[in-house]
Amino acid sequence: MANDGSQAGRSSSSRSSFRQGRQGTLALRGTELNSKRKIIATAGSLWLIVSVAIVCRAGYAYKQVREISPRALASVPFEQETGNIAMALATGKGYSSPMRSDTGATAWLAPVYPLMVAGIFGVFGVFTLHAFYAAAALNIFFSAATCVPIYFAGRRIAGFGAASLAAWLWALFPNAIVIPFQWIWDTSLTALLAATILWATFALIESPRMRNWCGYGFLWGFTLLTNPALGAALPLLLGWAAYRERRDVRGRFARPLTALGIAILCCVPWTVRNYAEFHRFIPLRSNFPFELWIGNNEVFDDRSANINARVTRYGEARRYEQLGETAFMEEKWNLASEFMRTHKRLEVGLTRWRFMSFWIGSFRPVEDFENADSAWIRAILALNLLTAIGGATGIVMLWRKRSPYVFPAAVFVVVVPLVYYVTHASLRYRHPIDPIVLLLTAIAVTGARRYPTNQVPDEAAGSR
The string of pLDDT tens digits covering residues 328-385 is: 999 999 999 999 999 999 999 999 999 999 999 988 888 888 888 888 889 899 999 9
Alpha-carbon 340 to chain mean position:
30
Q: Give the pLDDT confidence score for residue 452 in this predicted structure.
A: 39
What are the DSSP calls for 405-450, one per residue? THHHHHHHHHTTTHHHHHS---HHHHGGGHHHHHHHHHHHHHTTPP
What parts of the chain have a pLDDT lower than 70? 1-41, 245-251, 304-309, 448-464
Give the E-state strand segments of 105-206 in sequence order.
none
Residues 6+ apart with CB under 8 A from 44: 160, 161, 163, 164, 457, 460
How does DSSP classify residue 105? B
Q: Give the pLDDT confidence score for residue 449 in this predicted structure.
A: 56
What is the number of other CB atoms lying within 10 angstroms of the CB of residue 114? 25
Q: Give the pLDDT confidence score for residue 457 in this predicted structure.
A: 39
CB of 424 closer than 8 Å to CB of 264: no
Q: Give the pLDDT confidence score for residue 25 in this predicted structure.
A: 54
Q: Give the pLDDT confidence score for residue 459 in this predicted structure.
A: 35
Q: Give the pLDDT confidence score for residue 307 in this predicted structure.
A: 61
Amino acid residing at 399: W
Q: Give the pLDDT confidence score for residue 147 in this predicted structure.
A: 97
Q: What is the pLDDT of residues 211-247, one digit of tens each?
A: 999 999 999 999 999 999 999 999 999 999 888 765 5
Query: Does the predicted model carry a pTM greater than 0.75?
Result: yes
Q: Give the pLDDT confidence score for residue 369 in this predicted structure.
A: 86
Q: Give the pLDDT confidence score for residue 310 in this predicted structure.
A: 76
Residues 6+ apart with CB under 8 A from 54: 140, 144
Report how far residue 141's alpha carbon sits from residue 338's, in angstroms, rounded to the nearest whole number. 43
